[in-house]
Amino acid sequence: MPTEPGAGPATVAASQRRPALVISNATVFDGSGAPRFAGDVAIDGDRITALGAPGTLRGAASIDASGLALAPGFIDVHTHDDRMLIDGGAMSPKVSQGVTTVVAGNCGISLAGLSGRGRPPQPLDLLDAGGEWFRFPTFRDYFDAFEQQPAATNAAFLVGHSTLRAAAMDDLSRAASPAECRRMCAAIDEAMQAGAIGLSTGTFYPPAAAAPTSELIELSRRLTDCGGLYVTHMRNEAEAILPAIDETLEIGRACGIGVVISHHKVAGLANHGRSVETLARIADAMQRQPVALDCYPYEASSTVLSASRLSMSSRVLVAWSTPHPECAGRDLAQVAAGWGIPAEEAVQRLQPAGAIYFMMDEDDVQRILAFPETMIGSDGLPHDASPHPRLWGTFPRVLGHYSRDLGLFPLEVAVHKMTGLPAARFGLHGRGRVAPGAFADLVLFDPATVIDSATFDAPVQPAAGIHTVMVNGTPVWRGGHATGERPGRVLRREGRA
């Protein structure tokens, strides 16, 4: 709490004690989108305790941030970090970018909620091709594991619909029966009680493609009373994208819940330019119901390798392949030519595999990024042998490339899209703001030099210009290196219970 002059002896004593740390002379971007200001920020324990004019606050320790920007730690709203969080928890691809909180369990895929079934169906295998990490039958089990060995970042979790289907159904190519729906509803109740923040679906993918809208509504009704979110990788992001948006909106209205359209994009050459239509549809719906969306700042997507996407793409890179690991990072066209076979046949030979598809239009990417309500989410795939560069580069690329170099929006707006806006949309209380009382999730970066270093050719590269990253008041990244600390917490759903 901020201290008031003359507010009583206890408050006076508190104000006279020096805070543990003061970051002085910073250019503060407070996460609200308001204009930057010069100031000092005091930190005690896991909280920001005071803001002051430059050079006015004193702490037991201090960091001179002259010339640097201080912002709330970035919130990566779209991740597949479920396993990385508990597999050592270093989270290097994230903390090196200034990310302090991730939302995991996206695209219908959560690590928790399924166990002991061996190799999971694609695309669940993007978390673990072998299947041995699928060993958390409930969210409480997973949260216990996280809290026994915390990660470097905070994390909030979605229940994956495809994961629940894989656990509850013997045949994923049909709608769930009433009994299977009841099992999935019970699993959603368990997850929400444990502290998950919503349900994710990936009806684009085979394990959930046969789920009708009625199944999605029946399951999402479990979110109504507890204020959970419906977060979706929609059925279609190409020709049929408008009906897919309409289905998402219908689910939100039917259940009285907020919806999040994940990694909004318009895929395929034939659909380039159609973000004009999709954003108009989304903006219109926002007048009547809570709708949110996120986006990654690249014109290539990445997921499992599938022949159906070849004709939509100008170029395809292999991200990983179980039988042919040597092909990771190579152009599919070159792999096929080397084998003397058509690309479709090479796809078969590489399976199971992942790929990167150049299938979006740069104008659409920029239009979606610049849409005021668009949040930033990396969709990074941390277990790919040659991952899409979004895993290591998303946030510095928005700050350095799109905001500073292209001038797509001011730096205040860029920071808001990755801090205050997602904290509000995902209900992450006390996060996403530089303000007294907020958690000390902070990033110090150089606005003149911050930039992504990861490329499609060399995707595993820490970004430039990120100085110090702090999670709950503890530094996790400093001077180009991880500190090894693991102060991350599970951010549980709050509010309506």
Q: Point out which residues bind Cu ion (CB under 5 A).
A: 106-107, 379
Q: Which is nearer to Cu ion, 49 or 110 (CB)?
A: 110
Asked if 153 and 471 count as a contact pair (C-beta separation under 8 A), the reply is: yes
Q: Which is nearer to Cu ion, 48 or 124 (CB)?
A: 124
- Beta strand 74-76 with 99-104: parallel, antiparallel or unpaired? parallel
Closest CA to 149 of 97, 91, 194: 91
Question: Least distance in Å: CB of 394 to Zn ion?
Answer: 14
Q: Which is nearer to Cu ion, 247 or 379 (CB)?
A: 379
Q: Which is nearer to Zn ion, 233 or 489 (CB)?
A: 233
Residue 316 binding: pick among Cu ion, Zn ion, none (C-beta 5-8 Å cut-off by kind): none
Question: Least distance in Å: CB of 444 to Cu ion?
Answer: 29
Residue 200 binding: pick among Cu ion, Zn ion, none (C-beta 5-8 Å cut-off by kind): none
Question: Least distance in Å: CB of 10 to Cu ion?
Answer: 48
Among the candidate windows 21-29, 229-237, 315-323, 386-394, which touches Zn ion by CB under 5 A?
A: 229-237
Q: Which is nearer to Zn ion, 265 or 467 (CB)?
A: 265
Q: Is 233 in the site for Zn ion (CB under 5 A)?
A: yes
Question: Least distance in Å: CB of 107 to Zn ion?
Answer: 3
Q: Is 107 in the site for Zn ion (CB under 5 A)?
A: yes
Q: Which residues, in sequence order, are bridge partners of residue 64?
A: 24
Q: Is 257 in the site for Zn ion (CB under 5 A)?
A: no
Q: Which is nearer to Zn ion, 150 or 380 (CB)?
A: 380
CA–CA separation, 217 vs 201, rounded Å? 11
Residue 441 binding: pick among Zn ion, Cu ion, none (C-beta 5-8 Å cut-off by kind): none
Question: Least distance in Å: CB of 202 to Zn ion?
Answer: 6
Asked if 165 and 188 count as a contact pair (C-beta separation under 8 A), the reply is: no
**H-type helices in 78-134, by residue range?**
82-86, 92-95
Asked if 414 and 400 count as a contact pair (C-beta separation under 8 A), the reply is: no
Question: Least distance in Å: CB of 263 to Zn ion?
Answer: 6
Q: Is 359 in the site for Zn ion (CB under 5 A)?
A: no
- Give the residue closest to Cu ion by C-beta: 107
Question: Least distance in Å: CB of 248 to Zn ion?
Answer: 13
Q: How many angstroms separate the Cα of 365 from the Cα of each of 209, 235, 299, 380?
A: 26, 20, 7, 17
Q: Which is nearer to Cu ion, 379 or 384 (CB)?
A: 379
Q: Which two tokens stand for residue 104?
A: 């995991």
Binding mask 63-82 for Zn ion (x = CB under 5 A): --------------------
Helix-, strand-, coil-residue percentages of the chain, each rounded to 5:
35, 25, 45
CA–CA separation, 164 vs 152, rounded Å? 28
Q: Is 94 in the site for Zn ion (CB under 5 A)?
A: no
- Beta strand 442-445 with 61-64: parallel, antiparallel or unpaired? unpaired
Q: Which two tokens stand for residue 237?
A: 């992001």
Residue that the structure tokens 């958390």 belong to: 136
CA–CA separation, 74 vs 80, rounded Å? 16
Q: Which two tokens stand for residue 116?
A: 């002991």
Closest CA to 74 of 437, 352, 463: 463
Residues that bind Zn ion (CB under 5 A): 107, 233
